[in-house]
Amino acid sequence: MRYITTIAPVHEDGTECTHSGRDQRDSDCSGRDGYRASCAGGGCTWTKSGTRANALAEDGRSHLTSHLTASFARRGV
């Protein structure tokens, strides 16, 4: 099973911002309020929101590590 975490900018209301810099001015983009990291693969629904992409990237890495730990040593559940 392969898991991957992605980080996307989100609006203040929590919806993902897919506007590029130019679109932000031309569209009704409400502005970016932060970022959301999410895990894809195997039906995992882990998500985490924050204001700093770097911190979320770190959280995503440690989350992926927890997947690896679970698959290599499935015990104590």
Shortest Cβ 38–Zn ion spacing (Å):
9
Among 10, 33, 46, 59, which residue interacts with Zn ion (rule: CB under 5 A)? 46
Contact status: 8 vs Zn ion (CB under 5 A) = no
Count the residues of the shown chain that bind Zn ion, applying the rule CB under 5 A. Answer: 6
Q: Which is nearest to 3 in space by CA: 64, 61, 60, 45?
A: 64
d(CA 72, CA 45): 20
H/E run at residue 51 = none
Among 7, 8, 10, 29, which residue interacts with Zn ion (rule: CB under 5 A)? 29
Contact status: 50 vs Zn ion (CB under 5 A) = no
> With contact defined as beta carbons under 8 Å apart, do 68 and 42 qualify?
no
Please name the amino acid found at residue 1: M
Contact status: 36 vs Zn ion (CB under 5 A) = no
Q: Which residues are near Zn ion by CB under 5 A? A: 17, 19, 29, 39, 44, 46
